[in-house]
Amino acid sequence: ITQNGGSALPVTTDVTERKQVESLVDAAVAAFGRIDVMLNNAGIMPVSPLDRLNVDEWDRMIDVNLKGVLYGIAAALPYMREQASGHIINVASDAGHKVHPSEAVYAATKHAVRALSEGLRQEVKPYGLRTTIISPGAVESELPDTVPEEDVAEEMRALYDEHALSPDSFARAVAFAIEQPEEVDVNEILYRPTSQNL
């Protein structure tokens, strides 16, 4: 960002800690005077079949993938309401549109993000705010590395090795949503690699 002439303020944040998310947003507003876009993008994917009972992993996915989004909304919304402008972008997944074996809890968190985002969209219209859900398919990231079960991890790595898009595809989707005129609210973007059949 800075190499391209922009300003950046890195703030290490654990999205499962509400106060840390609030501090992140407060720091951004203190540094830049306002918050134009809140991108809730943190996520983990320690998927496994339900009968393996990895309940701690279920809790972690709910804490990061769903509560982290809620905390981001809670931190940004008061500023955006006061400004009467802003854009909240919540990252879901193509798993929020279709459930696959071993991904039930992960998909549930992503379905929840979609439902939450649609409710948010309806509620913030009086304040002139925009909302977008971005649901990517396989994109190169560390997500496959968070799969704890070796057999599931091998399948996931094979899918990503064969089909994953570069992270630039995600950046372009975000830019597309943000760069629309204020009267245009891109509510959802679902995209996958052309070769990904799932």
pLDDT score for 61: 97
- Cα→Cα distances 91→41, 80, 181, Å: 5, 19, 21
Give strand ranges (E) for the chain: 37-40, 87-91, 130-136, 188-191
Instruction: Encode the chain (198 residues) as per-residue pLDDT tens digits.
Output: 889 898 889 999 999 999 999 999 999 999 999 999 999 999 999 999 999 999 999 999 999 999 999 999 999 999 999 999 999 999 999 999 999 999 999 999 999 999 999 999 999 999 999 999 999 999 998 888 889 999 998 998 988 888 999 999 999 999 999 999 999 999 999 999 988 876
d(CA 21, CA 18): 5
pTM (two decimals)? 0.94
Contacts of 68 (CB under 8 A, 6+ apart): 15, 16, 21, 40, 42, 43
Pairing of strands 130-136, 87-91: parallel
d(CA 73, CA 152): 32
User: Does residue 106 have an active-site annotation?
Assistant: yes
Task: Give me 89's structure tokens.
Answer: 């972008």
Q: Which domains does the chain have, with CATH numbers?
A: 14-191 (3.40.50.720)
- From the candidates 106, 127, 160, 191, give the one annotated as an active-site residue: 106
